[in-house]
Amino acid sequence: MAPTGGDKDMTAPKMISRSIKDSSVNFKGGNIEFIFDEFIQLKDLQKQLLISPLLKEKPIISAHKRKLNIFIADSLLLDNTTYRVSLGNAIQDMHEGNPYDNLGFTFSTANYFDSLEIDGKVFDAQTGQPDTSVVIVLYDAQVPDSIFKKQKPLYVVKPNGESFRFMNMPQRSFKIFALQDANQNLMYDLPTEKLAFLDRVISPNNPSNKITLYTFIEADARDTSKLSMRRGMTNTNTKNAKLNYQVNIDTSKKQQCNFELTDSIVISFTQKIKNFDISKVRLSQQEILDATAQINLDSSATKIIIKTDWVADASYTLQLRKGFIIDSIDTKADSALFQIKTKRLIDYGFASLIVEKNENNWLELTDGEKIIARKPANDTLVKFELLKPATYHVRILHDKNKNGKWDSGNYSKGIQPEIVERLPQEILIKANWENKINLTEKLKPKRER
């Protein structure tokens, strides 16, 4: 039989020697050499390489056999400055791609090292989750605010989870931002890039600097990629084509109580609707027409949404008559009949949250990033009913303008986003069971940043 070749190589390259010691002083530029115990390659170097403070030009980096060379010209270096260079996981072995973890080094062009630090946390303002999609950047405190859109920063770091840290910093003041750098130019020049900013300058090792950044996409940002896709779409229907649609009803289990009491019926179409005849959409409980049902065409003209106060453990019939909708080329939808049976009340659980009354707060129960239920904290006891058995998280929307929804920020106008705070507690919901939780300490008024 053919030889197997042995076990798969799972070992990362090991560094044997380097031409520069970490934390070297009086560095004047030139070539820096690293030798490894096996052949290496560079992978995703542009994404992995970070140098703080940034150089006017990137150093020349190459890998050949077991050797890594980094050439930094003396003309690129500032006097009396401490630099940190990180190659992340760009160094990998040649055959299996096992990475050398976080290759980095520090050097100074002076005879001393800057040793101060700036650290903080970064969250997505809308979800309350740590935002690892951004980089944190620093500018000199004296530059205008518009510099964030026109010029690269002095210092850059990536967050580790929710936390970030700038090390080997000089004693000077900075402006700090977070940026989801989609085009990798370290400037805020795309309207759909996430950003965060502080309304004040910061300085290293200042005990009063409790830095927390909240990222957001500006409210008036437009996703032009989606617009161009819509312009490029063509209607391939012909007069003899069928107008297809889907209904969110499971027809395979007619006798089971499987329709959620919290759901709406959604009829989705592949084409935009030109004409909608509401009289041809009929929802009945048993044999009685449900006159309370709200039947509406959504703003995209591609969905019909039917809402009603469902009766538990009850049978419904949805009747769609031929031609209830007509698309832009006058194709009529076929008729259809759907049977629905709603779930029982004992299939659901309940949650009662004891809170500090605050009309600026909204409580949101989430499953992953999906909001399952939300209510204002306008009483000391907030009850959530008809919850599917699952484990939920609680988060708080600090609704400053009391409009009942999350509002984004605006960098040019100096407007910060509203903050969603994710609580660490999980709420376990079981069928036909109530969970009561005290959140009074968590729902005290949010302090300004």
**Residue 441 pLDDT class (50, 70, 90 cuts):** low
116-215 matches 15-108 in CATH topology: yes
Q: Which residue type does 180 have?
A: Q
**Residue 20 pLDDT class (50, 70, 90 cuts):** confident
pLDDT at 237: 43
Checking if the pLDDT of 368 tops 50, the result is: yes
Checking if the pLDDT of 1 tops 90, the result is: no
Q: For residue 447, how far is the Cα from the chain centroid? A: 24
Is beta strand 281-285 parallel, antiparallel or unpaired with respect to 155-157? Answer: unpaired
User: H or E element: which one contains 71?
Assistant: strand 67-72
Name which of 197-211, 220-234, 254-268, 292-306 the model is least confident about.
220-234
**Domain over 245-344 is classified CATH 2.60.40.1220:** yes
Question: Is cis: bond before 159, omega within 30 of 0?
Answer: no
pLDDT at 210: 78
**Residue 191 pLDDT class (50, 70, 90 cuts):** confident
Is beta strand 434-438 parallel, antiparallel or unpaired with respect to 349-354? Answer: parallel
Where helices occur in 205-351 by DSSP H, the ranges are 224-232
**Residue 2 pLDDT class (50, 70, 90 cuts):** confident
Residue 250 and residue 339: Cα distance in Å, rounded?
Answer: 9
pLDDT at 254: 65
Of 77, 20, 90, 93, which is closest to residue 49 (Cα–Cα)? 90
Residues 87-114 have pLDDT tens digits of 888 999 988 889 998 888 899 999 999 9
Checking if the pLDDT of 326 tops 80, the result is: yes
**Residue 208 pLDDT class (50, 70, 90 cuts):** low
pLDDT at 234: 35
Residue 88 and residue 103: Cα distance in Å, rounded?
Answer: 6
- What are the structural domain ranges in the chain? 15-108, 116-215, 245-344, 348-438
Of 299, 283, 248, 246, which is closest to residue 268 (Cα–Cα)? 246
DSSP secondary structure string, 190-242? -TTS-EEE-SS-B-TT-TT--EEEEEB--TT---HHHHHHHHH------TT--
**Residue 70 pLDDT class (50, 70, 90 cuts):** very high
Extended beta strands in 356-441, E state: 361-367, 370-376, 381-387, 390-398, 419-429, 434-438
**Rounded to the nearest 10 degrees, how much is the dihedral formed by the CA atoms of 92, 97, 98, 102?**
40
Checking if the pLDDT of 10 tops 60, the result is: yes
pLDDT at 284: 94
Record the tokens describing residue 149, joined without a space. 């859109």
pLDDT at 442: 57
**Mean pLDDT score of the chain, rounded to an integer?**
87
Residue 52 and residue 43: Cα distance in Å, rounded?
Answer: 21
Checking if the pLDDT of 73 tops 90, the result is: yes
320-332: burial string, b at 16+ Cβ within 10 Å, e else: beeebbbbeeebe
Residues 409-425 have pLDDT tens digits of 999 899 999 999 998 88
**Domain over 15-108 is classified CATH 3.40.50.1370:** no
**Residue 449 pLDDT class (50, 70, 90 cuts):** very low
Where helices occur in 81-223 by DSSP H, the ranges are 147-150
Residues 21-69 have pLDDT tens digits of 888 899 999 999 999 999 999 998 888 888 889 998 889 999 999 999 9
pLDDT at 53: 92
Q: What is the CATH number of domain 116-215?
A: 2.60.40
Average pLDDT over residues 300-314: 93
Q: What is the CATH architecture of 348-438?
A: Sandwich (2.60)
